[in-house]
A and B are shown apart, each in its own frame.
Chain A
Amino acid sequence: MDFANTPSFFRQGPRPLVRLISCTTLSIALLVADSRFGLMEPAREALSVVLYPLQWAVNAPVSGARDLGSFLTSQTELQQENRQLRAAALSNAAQLGRLATVERELAELKALGQIASSRTDVAAQAEVLYTGRDAFTNKLIIDRGTNAGLRGGMPVLDSHGLLGQITRVQPLTAEVTLVVDKNQMVPVMIERTGQRAILYGYGGGVELRYMPIHADVKEGDRLVTSGIDSVFPPGVPVAQVGKVDRNAGAAFARVACIPYAGVQSSRYVLVVSEKQMPPAPKPAQPAAPVDAKAAKAAAKAAKKAAKKAADKGAAKPAAKTAKAASASAPR
């Protein structure tokens, strides 16, 4: 029995049971230390460093074979995959385009929603249905009309600034004339200096007209509604000054401006009610001739009444009427 050679008596070391007990205790201690306290991480790391060359040596042929396999991938397979990927890319692009549109719309709505919640004079929030088909005017049709309480003359904003003004109202739709439309005018104020001016649309753009050559206006100035008219609420951004052209031969400077509102791009708009003016003083008294007649008539009536009253013997109310009539006469 050379194969299972019997150990020599002196080299035996500790007895197997002792070894068993010590090793078992040690491994149980390791188990507990690892699972309960995570103490064995350094030892594990050290051992894994020792194992790494072995791991690498084992993995190298496998990954090499894999690389070789991918190198030898057949042409047809590649072509097929290429075709599939192209198709996928196409459909993805379409989806992405849709997503971009939806995202833009969402951003616009969010911005508009913020403005709507910060304003107290919002009449309606509307969506642009289409742009007017007339090539000579710049108009939009929105999907709210008299049903939403819109009236002609109401200002229309989008998330960036003033867009235009309602010029025609149908039961379910309304027509908005944009600030860039010819004949559309907006009283504005240069925000930096407070100077007032009028912004004219010229069909496709806006400009400040009748600005003196030496007027303090610079490229980049913000134009906001001045609020001195009875239509636009004050402080709404309208346009930014673009190029200022001061020609010594002309009486006025040419000030081209760029509207803030997306005149061609906005999808959702906000209609605000016209500025609430303090109640105007009673209109001036009617013109004298008309009034004189009326006064005479009133006086006549008063006299008649007085007579009647005198007949009746109760002059008081008649006198009152006469007094009122004379009060309405020009002072």
Chain B
Amino acid sequence: MERPQELLKPVKRRLIYLTFTLALVVELVPLPVGSVRWLPDFVGMLILYWVLNQPSRVGIGTAFILGLIADVATAGLFGQHALAYTITAYLVLLRQRQLVMFNLGIQAIAVLGLLQVNQLIMVVARMATGSAFVGWSFFLPPLIGALLWPLLTNLLVLPYRQRSL
């Protein structure tokens, strides 16, 4: 309950774009093959973060467009990320005012649920279009993403924390 009492500088639009670009870059970096199994979906996490903290700037439409870009970047099916991000963004917006008041631990649990919803939607979308089930390890990355959530939040707060206070 301590964080919202902080006084912060207004968030610049540039920063939002930059973070999304960085997340996409992470998707595109040629990483070792095995890392896909545990690396969390940074684009999804950032969408959750910005929808949670800047609902007027980043909303369902942004989530949808970023989903399309992520689809192309990950060479997935066109629309699977878009669908997942759209739905989770909506879920965040439903309870945004509550979620933003929680401390980081509880937020992380909520994020875990939302990221799992992401994965679930993608699995359902792929299976509905005829792919085989990829295995339960597909649901591991959200756990790591949830563990990273406090770190991410603190990192993104840094640029607009006021120095003189």
Q: Which residues of A does B touch, CB under 8 Å? A: 1-5, 7-8, 11, 16-17, 19-20, 23-24, 26-36, 40, 43-44, 47-48, 51, 54-55, 57-59, 62
In addition to A4-B4, A26-B64, 14 A-B residue pairs with Cβ atoms within 8 Å of each other are: A1-B100, A4-B96, A5-B54, A7-B55, A7-B56, A17-B90, A19-B59, A26-B79, A30-B68, A31-B83, A34-B78, A44-B78, A51-B73, A54-B25
Are the CB atoms of B59 and A31 closer together than 8 Å?
no
Out of A1, A35, A55, A59, name the residue touching B77 (CB < 8 Å).
A35
- Given known pairs A16-B93, A47-B68, A48-B72, the reply for A31 and B129 (CB within 8 Å) is yes
Report which residue of A1, A27, A31, A54 has the largest number of chain B beta carbons within 10 angstroms of its beta carbon: A27
Cross-chain contact of B60 among A4, A19, A33 (Cβ < 8 A): A19
B8 touches A23 (CB 8 A): no
Contact A27 B29, CB 8 Å, known A3-B8, A35-B129:
no
Interface contact B82-A27, CB-CB below 8 Å: yes
A44 touches B82 (CB 8 A): no
Is A23 within 8 A of B7, CB to CB? no
Q: Is the interface of A mostly helix, strand, loop or mixed?
A: helix
Q: Count B-side interface residues using an 8 Å CB cutoff.
A: 45
Asked if residues A47 and B97 are in contact (CB atoms below 8 Å), the reply is: no
Whole-angstrom CA separation of A57 from B63 in the bound complex? 24
Q: Is there an interface contact between A24 and B28, defined as CB atoms closer than 8 Å?
A: no
Among B53-104, those with CB < 8 Å from A are 53-56, 59-61, 63-64, 67-69, 71-73, 77-80, 82-83, 86-87, 90, 93-94, 96-97, 100
Query: In the complex the two chains form, what is the Cα distance from A26 to B29 in whole Å?
Result: 29
Q: Which B29-61 residues have a C-beta within 8 angstroms of A?
A: 29-30, 52-56, 59-61
Contact A44 B77 (CB under 8 A): no
* A28 contacts B90, C-beta separation under 8 Å: no
CA–CA, A164 to B82, complex, Å? 83
Q: Is the CB of B53 within 8 A of A4?
A: yes
| B31: nearest chain-A partner, CB-CB | A62
| B130 interfacial by beta-carbon distance below 8 Å | yes
Chain B residues, Cβ within 8 Å of A55: 28
Pair count A-B, CB < 8 A: 111
Q: Which residues of B contact A48 (CB under 8 A)?
A: 72
What 6 A-B pairs have minimum CB-CB distances, sorted nearest first?
A: A30-B79, A34-B78, A35-B129, A27-B83, A31-B79, A27-B82
Contacts of B61 in A (CB 8 A): 19, 23
Tell me the smallest distance from the CB of A5 to a CB of chain B, in Å: 6
- State how many angstroms separate the Cβ of B86 from the closest Cβ of chain A: 4
Out of A5, A19, A34, A59, name the residue touching B79 (CB < 8 Å). Answer: A34
CB contact between A58 and one of B28, B54, B68, B90 (< 8 Å): that residue: B28
Within 93-148 of B, Cβ neighbours of A (below 8 Å) are at 93-94, 96-97, 100, 125, 128-130
User: Contacts of B73 on A, CB cut-off 8 Å?
Assistant: 51
19 A-B pairs (CB sep. < 8 Å): A1-B100, A2-B7, A3-B3, A4-B100, A19-B60, A20-B87, A23-B63, A24-B86, A24-B87, A26-B82, A27-B64, A27-B86, A29-B79, A30-B79, A32-B129, A40-B78, A44-B72, A51-B72, A54-B25
Chain A nearest CB, measured from B21 CB (Å):
7
Give Cα A70 to B69, complex, Å. Answer: 34
C-alpha gap A31/B128 in the complex (Å): 10
